[in-house]
Structure 1
Amino acid sequence: MTAWLMYLGEDAKRVGQGYDDHPSTHYSWNSRVPNSATVAVGDTIVLWDGKTLLGLSVIEDIKTGTGTADVSSCPKCGKADIAERKTMTPRYRCWTEDCKHEFDAPQVQTVPVTTYRSLHEAAWVDLRGQVSGPELRALCEQPKSQNALRRLRWDDFRTRVETGKNATSLNIVDEARKIIAGGHTTRVTRARKGQAPFRASLLEHFGEVCAFTGPMPASVLDAAHLYSYADKAKHYEFGGLLLRKDVHRLFDLGQIAIDPKTLTLDVTPQTRAYPDYDKLHDQPLTVTLDKKHEKWIKEHWGMHRAQAQGTVPAQASGTNEALVPHSM
């Protein structure tokens, strides 16, 4: 397992280079960055803003291209090891050992570069604020590194995220890596063709009702799959429920599941620490299900609960299940 801590900030340097990064979907860098060509499909990408953790995912694809970059360097020695000083003058200083020159403006040269852009939406887990900047630095293979792309000690990082307060399961990372390793990178992406008709069919079937919390405005209801859409890449007619956006996220992460025997909600202990979610534990669904929903509920339970209990996950055959029509 190779994991990278990647810096995503709003400082002038990144903005000036034209990056349009969005943490949950894509991240850009170029060949001027150390380790630029080492990052690979299937690697885990962990994003931070220099102060705190933002989230993580698995790289599904890397788009490469060509472009240019403005490289700032010391006007005396020509090296790029310079730093901007916020409160001192001259504004810049060269950190090259045999130079140390101070100056008001760097020398800027435009150079050709190879551009890289990761696509990593399918397995994205939002972890904003759960690990501090100093902790993240300490979890790197080289804690004193200043590189934008740094190798992370994955096992230690995972232990930190999955234990303690606000513990979050990272099992989705394992599932995504298996799919990618099997050569199904196109199936991992969350393009989710037909998602709008899928949601429309759920609204027609259930009305404006969150299956966990009750009646809600349609604008806050998501079409939630009861199985891994990244794995199957299909919208099955009885494979979804309408869920309020926050409980949908918790459901995807396995922090809320539906017990297939009782059709009541099972909320993980760490999530029950929050009163609004604690009151959902052991509660029945607010909608009536069809028998055909049950095999998909068993599949979700198998992914997030059965393994932890030492049982074999239930598998939904479902390969010939009728698809939701791709029209409104």
Structure 2
Amino acid sequence: MVAAWSFLTVEEADQQFGGNLGYEDVLGERYLWNNTVPNYRAVQPGDLVVLRDKTWVLGLAWVDDIAQGPGKKVLRRCPQCTATSIKRRTTKTPTFKCSGCGAEFDTPVTNVLDVTVFEADYARTWRPLDPLVRVQQIQGLFLNRSGQQSIRPMDLEGIRAALTGSAGAGPLWWKEDGGLRPPIPGGHTLILHKARVGQQQFRQRMLERYGSRCAITGDQPEEVLEAAHLYRYATTPHHDPNGGLLLRRDLHALLDRGLLTIDTTTWTVQLAPRLRNPKYADFAPLHGQPLKLPTSKRPDSSYLDEHHKIATEAWAV
């Protein structure tokens, strides 16, 4: 069953307590946590996630996949009582004060724990909120009262009602994906930064199929080309050779974010209205241009059609 979760993302400079060093989240792409936080195993591929800081709801997305692997957790403790509830101070010295025993100090005691690190990839369906919504406005959608938890369960239908407009996400964005996905072995591992198993082979197949050629801009150095999945790489990941294209890295990013799509009735590039502005000289001229692929090597149109519907519907919101 699909669930919804709040992911709290906090810059270290904004952390009230300095006892726990986090991981390198990238807003709009990935979120990391470890097996010491509540609900660490509850989040699953296909779940909805709401990214927020202490004040603002920043955006929402569907989790494509979750990688896991060994990692380290750094704990900083009070040298007097060993508590981790130490508060960093920016206007006073010493830098730290322990909330437990009241000790003041510049250098905390550091402990490193072996943990399992989890990384959720949600970049493909990320929708930033515009305008932003205050966390206060969605307090009633949290399903527990544990305000300090990094990962909290939320009311999915309530999120849909409250945030659809700000996220520019129409009904098709909310529809679960499906489809057959053949042979290359999938799955994923984590090397603090995740690597999809089979991704290199998938890219190699795309290079063998298309050569060193971006489907939109034509011949390019191989180093700038990425293998773009045209479907959500989710719960039981596989790489479908008929569901991919080689794209220049910047165009791949636009495709993943629904700002660029392919209309298979004409096999032409379609850009979100705001990217057709002449000030975007590298992108605006691409609107309406035919794909630079022979007919025999076009990918499965059903993947592109679904992507096109979701993307263009969001443009109209």
Q: TM-score range by the shorter chain?
A: 0.5 to 0.7
CA distance in 1, matches of 2:25, 2:301: 32
Helix, strand or coil at the partner of 1:120 = strand
Q: CA deviation at 1:2?
A: 2.1
Contact 1:74 1:80 in 2 (8 A): no
Which of 176, 195, 207 is 1:200 aligned to? 207
One-letter code aligned to 2:268: T
Which of 197, 208, 211 is 1:191 aligned to? 197
Note the alpha carbon deviations across 1:186-237, whole angstroms, 9 max, x for none: 8565333412422321443xx53x332344433322233444555772342x
Which of 28, 36, 43 is 1:40 aligned to? 43
One-letter code aligned to 2:7: L
- Report whether the alignment pairs 1:27 with 2:26: no
Aligned residues: 287
Greater share of strand: 2
Gap regions ≥5 residues in structure 2: 180-184, 189-195
CA distance in 2, matches of 1:17, 1:306: 39
Partner of 2:223: 219
Helix, strand or coil at the partner of 2:246 = strand
Partner of 1:243: 247
Contact 1:73 1:108 in 2 (8 A): yes
Q: CA deviation at 1:16?
A: 8.6
- The two structures have a TM-score, normalised by structure 2, of 0.63
> Which runs of structure 2 are paired with 1:108-127 in the superposition (5 Å)?
108=109, 115-121=115-121, 123-125=122-124
- The two structures have a TM-score, normalised by structure 1, of 0.61
Q: Point out which structure has higher relative CO (alpha carbons under 8 A, 6+ apart).
A: 2
Change (3 A) 1:306 1:92: closer
Contact 2:254 2:260 in 1 (8 A): yes
Q: CA deviation at 1:127?
A: 5.7
Change (3 A) 1:89 1:299: closer
Cα RMSD, aligned residues only: 5.0
Contact 1:158 1:170 in 2 (8 A): no
Partner of 2:191: none
Q: CA deviation at 1:144?
A: 10
Helix, strand or coil at the partner of 2:228 = strand
Q: CA deviation at 1:301?
A: 0.9
Change (3 A) 1:263 1:63: closer
CA distance in 2, matches of 1:133, 1:83: 29
Give me the identity figure in percent: 22
Helix, strand or coil at the partner of 2:115 = strand
CA distance in 1, matches of 2:220, 2:71: 47
